[in-house]
Structure 1
């Protein structure tokens, strides 16, 4: 379904960011350079690499038309480049002089946002190259930035773990603690999520952080109802800090890259893992989908950028299979669910599920909260020996919540076991 078709190894140090236009791929690095490649054959353009920055280049992004490339650096500048000839168009200095960590164009190309290590965020006029507005977050440095698809607001993520939402006048609309150990990246899906009842459009936002998590949020903003950000779910798979995330151009896939050296591709509808790519030999720092083809670029501290191609026919078949499987599960009776539990070596839970009349439809809707609140399953993970010792001393309360445990059934956490085994495999080589 996905295959590695090319590896770029021209940078002399860690690759920090990669970005696509309709015809080009841009990469930037700790080696102070930006490199441009043609998507036809992945050859480097004659005017590449682009050199100006005096320190590491942290981020690069194309304008929606692809004619302008922005890059930002530890040297405190954000530079605009003409992609056709590599000429510099403007050098914009962060007012505070602080290292610039992230930059992003608005969907209509009128503005460019730049976020710095001191927490300042600047909106630049992308035509006049003049400062338009300036603001700052309460704490931490800025590490992430993403504009909503309609351009009415943008989101920044900080090293303190806060997601902050700004409107196009740089007014702070909302701030929320999203990741305990700091945010590393965020991205909007370009495809809206429709709400049939009110006829409004909502957008998916993905964020990732040092807490090893990828989170999905639902975001809406109208001048009548105001702004709303709702947590939706957390995607599993990584066992180390997640440094990058990005949606595909059609919104059907989400990719993430991690310190565990892996790249995970998710189906955004089912939130299931489609692929786990493990070709990088060091931390995966960046990932990006092309805007018009099924290409994925991943960059790493191993100094390389890998280009991946998806098989559309196989991808569609996988999505059909997922849909069919979900429909099949929805038709399960309570007895079918009990049979499935026994097959998963979870027969101790059969009684609890039967008591609560869990059929296939209910099974698909179970969440961690419903397991804890409705089925009274603790939901936390402990060492088996320690928990058995706890119960043997006639302690019938949860070690985490101190609430009474109605059942002493212990359920194996196979997902955690798999994550630990995978971590051991990658760190014992």
Structure 2
């Protein structure tokens, strides 16, 4: 389904980043250079390598059109290059002079974000090459950045573990602790989660960090209701810190690279692992999907960039995985359960489950009592983790079986919302469910467990309209 078709070994030091345009691949390195290759045959362009930076180059990215290439460095600069001839168009110095760790173009190529080690984030005007707005996070270095597909907002990640959301005017909308020990990368899927109209769309955001996890978030933003960030799930395919993550252009796959030297490819819809690639010999620092072809590039501290190609026929077959997941409750064998346990970081329980002949149907019927009494799992923390993973599985099967977008389900009842309201924690709930919850739980948020600053509930009319449109389309 995926095969290694080419290895680039031109850099003389660690590869830090790789990026695709419609026709080119760019890579950058601790060796202070950026190298640019043609996708037609992976030969290096005549004007490559690009040399200007005096210290390590940490990040590179193409403008959406592919005509511009940006790079940023420890030397405190972000440089714009003409991709056709390699000429330097502008050198933009971080106001603080701090090392620049990340740079990203907006979807409309109107601006460029650069984030630095001192926590400063700058929005540059690409037409004038001038500073437009500047801000900062209170703790940590800025090491990650991603624009929403609409360009209305962007997210930055810091070494202290926070995800911070900014609008296109550099106003801070939200900040949340996402990863213990630090965020390392984040990326938006270009495809909306729902089929709502342009005034109300949800997007997946993936973030990864030093805690060895990838987290999936649902992001919504409208000018009427503002911004929403909702945690969805955690992927645990790596055994060491995860340094990079990226969605495929069609949003169907998510790839990650790790200190464990592996590259993991996930199915975005089922969140199952499709492939684990282990050809790199040192930490995998970067990964990127091509825009219009089924190519994946991965870079490493082993100084190489590997190019992978996906088999289109096999991918079409993989598309049926969602249908398979709908009926796996009765179909999973004991071996399937063992594979699932390993994917969830519960490999130590494989023998216990095999001894008790746990298949798919029995897996979903396990309770805290049966885990303790029948399977003899003594650790309360381990039992809680298993139950949490099983509940995620139940929810996933239920959601896939119904075909209802997850964001249309009430977080409390997991049922399709009829009268959605926004609580003061920023999340939407079925009105009756959240009213009952507040009455019984003394104003705590079902999503964060924190005290709700207010018990006022605001009708989410835009979400209700999106649900009604979905019902009209899918339940005729």
Summarize the Cα distance change of 1:354–1:23 in structure 2 as closer, same or farther, 3 Å threshold: closer
Contact 1:262–1:280 under 8 Å retained in 2: yes
TM-aligned CA deviation for residue 63 of structure 1: 0.2
TM-aligned CA deviation for residue 318 of structure 1: 2.2
Q: Give the distance between the partners of 2:129 and 2:446, measured in 1 at CA.
A: 57
Contact 1:285–1:300 under 8 Å retained in 2: yes
Task: Determine helix, strand or coil for the equivalent of 1:28.
Answer: strand
TM-aligned CA deviation for residue 218 of structure 1: 0.4
Q: Give the distance between the partners of 1:90 and 1:338, measured in 2 at CA.
A: 55
Q: Give the distance between the partners of 1:355 and 1:397, measured in 2 at CA.
A: 41
Contact 1:152–1:168 under 8 Å retained in 2: yes
Summarize the Cα distance change of 1:261–1:366 in structure 2 as closer, same or farther, 3 Å threshold: farther
Task: Determine helix, strand or coil for the equivalent of 1:42.
Answer: coil
TM-aligned CA deviation for residue 223 of structure 1: 1.3
Summarize the Cα distance change of 1:41–1:122 in structure 2 as closer, same or farther, 3 Å threshold: same
Identify which range, 404-413 or 55-64, moves more after superposition: 404-413
Contact 1:348–1:409 under 8 Å retained in 2: no
Cα RMSD after superposing both structures: 13.5
- How many residues get paired? 428
TM-aligned CA deviation for residue 320 of structure 1: 1.2
Summarize the Cα distance change of 1:251–1:99 in structure 2 as closer, same or farther, 3 Å threshold: same
Summarize the Cα distance change of 1:123–1:365 in structure 2 as closer, same or farther, 3 Å threshold: farther
Summarize the Cα distance change of 1:421–1:339 in structure 2 as closer, same or farther, 3 Å threshold: farther
Summarize the Cα distance change of 1:373–1:49 in structure 2 as closer, same or farther, 3 Å threshold: farther
Contact 1:262–1:279 under 8 Å retained in 2: yes
TM-aligned CA deviation for residue 386 of structure 1: 41
Contact 2:102–2:143 under 8 Å retained in 1: yes
Contact 2:230–2:427 under 8 Å retained in 1: no
Q: Give the distance between the partners of 2:458 and 2:170, measured in 1 at CA.
A: 49
Task: Determine helix, strand or coil for the equivalent of 1:206.
Answer: strand
CA deviation vs aligned residue, 1:163-208 (integer Å, no higher than 9, x gap): 0000001000000000011000000000001166998310000000
CA deviation vs aligned residue, 1:285-318 (integer Å, no higher than 9, x gap): 0000001000000000000000000001111212
Task: Determine helix, strand or coil for the equivalent of 1:276.
Answer: strand
TM-aligned CA deviation for residue 371 of structure 1: 9.3
Summarize the Cα distance change of 1:136–1:225 in structure 2 as closer, same or farther, 3 Å threshold: same
TM-aligned CA deviation for residue 153 of structure 1: 0.2
> Any unmatched runs of 5+ in structure 1?
none
Identify which range, 350-359 or 20-29, moves more after superposition: 350-359
Task: Determine helix, strand or coil for the equivalent of 2:327.
Answer: helix
TM-aligned CA deviation for residue 134 of structure 1: 0.1
Contact 1:121–1:135 under 8 Å retained in 2: yes
TM-aligned CA deviation for residue 25 of structure 1: 0.1
Q: Give the distance between the partners of 1:54 and 1:408, measured in 2 at CA.
A: 55
Summarize the Cα distance change of 1:369–1:139 in structure 2 as closer, same or farther, 3 Å threshold: farther
Identify which range, 356-365 or 260-269, moves more after superposition: 356-365
Summarize the Cα distance change of 1:391–1:375 in structure 2 as closer, same or farther, 3 Å threshold: farther
| Length-normalised TM-score, structure 2 | 0.71
Identify which range, 62-71 or 389-398, moves more after superposition: 389-398
Summarize the Cα distance change of 1:278–1:92 in structure 2 as closer, same or farther, 3 Å threshold: same
Contact 2:237–2:344 under 8 Å retained in 1: no
Task: Determine helix, strand or coil for the equivalent of 1:112.
Answer: strand
- 1:251-330 superposed matches below 5 A: 251-329=251-329
Identify which range, 331-340 or 276-285, moves more after superposition: 331-340
CA deviation vs aligned residue, 1:357-388 (integer Å, no higher than 9, x gap): 99979966999999999999x99999999999
Summarize the Cα distance change of 1:135–1:217 in structure 2 as closer, same or farther, 3 Å threshold: same
Counterpart in the other structure of 1:425: 472
Q: Give the distance between the partners of 1:394 and 1:281, measured in 2 at CA.
A: 51
Contact 1:237–1:419 under 8 Å retained in 2: no
Contact 2:228–2:427 under 8 Å retained in 1: no
Summarize the Cα distance change of 1:104–1:399 in structure 2 as closer, same or farther, 3 Å threshold: closer
Counterpart in the other structure of 1:206: 206
Contact 1:239–1:420 under 8 Å retained in 2: no
- 1:149-168 superposed matches below 5 A: 149-168=149-168
TM-aligned CA deviation for residue 237 of structure 1: 1.2
Q: Give the distance between the partners of 1:385 and 1:107, measured in 2 at CA.
A: 40
Q: Give the distance between the partners of 2:202 and 2:155, measured in 1 at CA.
A: 15
Contact 1:330–1:364 under 8 Å retained in 2: no
Q: Give the distance between the partners of 1:241 and 1:91, measured in 2 at CA.
A: 33
| Length-normalised TM-score, structure 1 | 0.79
Identify which range, 209-218 or 350-359, moves more after superposition: 350-359
Identify which range, 233-242 or 388-397, moves more after superposition: 388-397
Summarize the Cα distance change of 1:413–1:312 in structure 2 as closer, same or farther, 3 Å threshold: farther
Identify which range, 364-373 or 204-213, moves more after superposition: 364-373
CA deviation vs aligned residue, 1:223-243 (integer Å, no higher than 9, x gap): 111111011000011010000
Summarize the Cα distance change of 1:223–1:285 in structure 2 as closer, same or farther, 3 Å threshold: same
Task: Determine helix, strand or coil for the equivalent of 1:150.
Answer: coil
Summarize the Cα distance change of 1:172–1:425 in structure 2 as closer, same or farther, 3 Å threshold: closer
> Any unmatched runs of 5+ in structure 2?
377-424
TM-aligned CA deviation for residue 328 of structure 1: 4.4
Whether 1:118 aligns to 2:154 is no
